[in-house]
Amino acid sequence: MAEPKTKYDRQLRIWGEQGQAALEKASICLLNCGPTGSETLKNLVLGGVGSITIVDGSKVEFGDLGNNFMVDDSSLGQSKAKCVCSFLQELNDAVKAKFIEEYPEALIDTNPSFFSQFTLVVATQLVEESMVKLDRICRQENVMLIFARSYGLTGLVRISVKEHTVIESKPDHFLDDLRLNNPWPELRGFAEAIDLNVQDPVAHKHIPYVVILVKMADEWKTSHGGTLPSTREQKREFKELLKARMAAMDEDNYKEAIDASFKLFAPQGIIAALKEFIANEGGGEVPLEGSIPDMTSSTEHYVNLQKIYQAKSEADYLVLEERVRNILKKIGRDPHSIPKATIKSFSKNARKLKVCRYRSIEDEYNNPSPAELQKYLTDEDYSIAVGFYILLRAVDRYAANFNHFPGQFVGGLDEDISRLKTTAVSLLNDLGCSGLTLTEDLINEMCRFGAAELHAVAAIIGGIASQEVIKLITKQFVPMTGTFAFNAIDHKSQLLNLC
């Protein structure tokens, strides 16, 4: 068996050893192992999740052979959970895998405590009534939950947790933490040792823009009562001042300073969770991240500047660590119960912390937001996505009343369309959207789907669901905060902020 670092090399570059360790400790429960559930779990097994438990009471039928590549002819008549579990175990023998041959709905009703043993539950293809019950159970047990559903050419993914904190949010775009408007002594000393009026043209064009901005900001404050540029006119004037100090038009470092001058004007942020540090050693700032962007500079200047930022970051971390240990001791916990790596990650990412909160499924369904729904229904870009969201709820009502999904059986399609239309109108009224309608084409399509679980759609929904599972478990990247709706007809994926 390959060593973990070799086996998981590529993903380690994305979420690191801490993220991988979290995955390897995680215990995942999958409800229903049709194509949507199987695709979700396949991605997690390949990623090295610790253990999986598959719950499904159905047998492999002929129709499964066409939409789930984890079963074959030899699987016909056998437990679907057993066959899928066996296949997934072959993909990664380091993952502990087991199955329970029982229908998830029965387990939800008769043994709710069963779910408390898991880190996260992935519930696929559940109808509304079971979703509400399971969500209530998982919230009570503080177990993370993701719903995923494929239905014909549409599907959805919805996260449900009370609260989720993200330490390493890794935003695509984020302002570099350079402290240009509040330099600490070592950074100020480094800047003061460099002469902006140096006569050597090569040296002049290799002064880091950080130094240029720190020194020019001091110069500005001297002539403006100790304040930095704040108005649009003052900011324009400051940029002109920078431009005037250029010795030649090809000085990229001064161009970088002009482009980065907005970092000097950015307001300082306060993180409540780091109150003690901010109020004392931080001087109103969170711990320094310690990295600097690439910039035009001599190698010597860049390396020295980098060392100054890294040293400040390390010093901030050590102060924060000491405060964490003292607080743990005061509250009667082992002072070392929080690992150094966690504190270091927290310190480095203090400006990027995120907290996500989600409404319960029951609250979303029983207390809808008519204004949001009406906005989506009347928006040409979102009307199809929210239409599918509403129709997925409507087909569950339909099935509860008629014991089958619309279009599920050959014959009687016209009657099914008429019944689904009536059900959808009733649901719209309950959602506070009376007077609004869904298009005939959309209702007809929903009936044509016949509750089919198509592999192509399931693969996309499973991919999205597994991606969100990894975000939740590793506490890296920000998980979706709405309902992900996929529309394979128009090849569109959209997020509905209803939760």
Query: What pLDDT was estimated at residue 1?
Result: 45
Write down which residue in 449, 464, 482 finishes a domain.
449
Write down which residue in 328, 352, 376 finishes a domain.
352
Quick check: is 175 in a domain? Answer: no
| Angle, alpha carbons 496-498-499 (nearest 5°) | 115
- Are residues 152 and 26 part of one domain? yes
Quick check: is 174 in a domain? Answer: no
Q: Which residue has the higher pLDDT, 359 or 347?
A: 359
Reduced to 3 states (helix: H, G, I; strand: E, B; else coil), residue 393 is: helix
pLDDT tens per residue across span 233-268: 888 999 999 999 998 888 999 999 898 887 776 543
Query: What pLDDT was estimated at residue 442?
Result: 95
Judge whether 209 and 295 are in contact, CB under 8 Å: yes
Query: What pLDDT was estimated at residue 404?
Result: 95
Strand locations in 125-252 (E): 144-151, 154-160, 163-166
> The dihedral of CA 97, 100, 105, 109: what is its sign?
negative
- Are residues 202 and 99 part of one domain? no
**pLDDT of 77 higher than 70:** yes
- Are residues 391 and 264 part of one domain? no
Query: What pLDDT was estimated at residue 279?
Result: 67
Size of the chain in residues: 499
Residue 308: partners with Cβ closer than 8 Å, 6 or more residues away: 186, 187, 190
Write down which residue in 352, 380, 409 finishes a domain.
352
Quick check: is 482 in a domain? Answer: yes
Q: Which of 85-99, 109-123, 180-194, 452-466 has the lowest mean pLDDT?
A: 180-194
- Are residues 412 and 309 part of one domain? no
Q: Which domain holds residue 287?
A: 185-352
Quick check: is 308 in a domain? Answer: yes
- Are residues 463 and 439 part of one domain? no
- Are residues 438 and 461 part of one domain? no
- Are residues 161 and 30 part of one domain? yes
Quick check: is 180 in a domain? Answer: no
- Are residues 10 and 159 part of one domain? yes
Query: What pLDDT was estimated at residue 270?
Result: 26
Quick check: is 31 in a domain? Answer: yes
pLDDT tens per residue across span 298-356: 999 999 999 999 999 999 989 888 888 888 888 777 888 788 888 888 888 887 878 89
- Are residues 389 and 260 part of one domain? no
pLDDT tens per residue across span 159-206: 999 999 887 777 766 667 787 878 888 999 999 999 999 899 999 999
pLDDT tens per residue across span 96-109: 999 999 999 999 99
DSSP line for 332-370: TS-TTSS-HHHHHHHHHTGGG-EEEE---HHHHHHS--H
Predicted confidence band at 5 (pLDDT cuts at 50, 70, 90)? low
- Are residues 128 and 67 part of one domain? yes
Structural domain total, the chain: 3
Predicted confidence band at 3 (pLDDT cuts at 50, 70, 90)? low
Judge whether 437 and 130 are in contact, CB under 8 Å: no
- Are residues 463 and 442 part of one domain? no
CATH assignment of the domain containing 475: 3.40.50.720
Quick check: is 390 in a domain? Answer: yes
Reduced to 3 states (helix: H, G, I; strand: E, B; else coil), residue 99 is: strand
- Are residues 272 and 211 part of one domain? yes
Total Cβ atoms within 10 A of residue 440: 10
Quick check: is 102 in a domain? Answer: yes
**pLDDT of 116 higher than 60:** yes
| Angle, alpha carbons 333-339-341 (nearest 5°) | 155
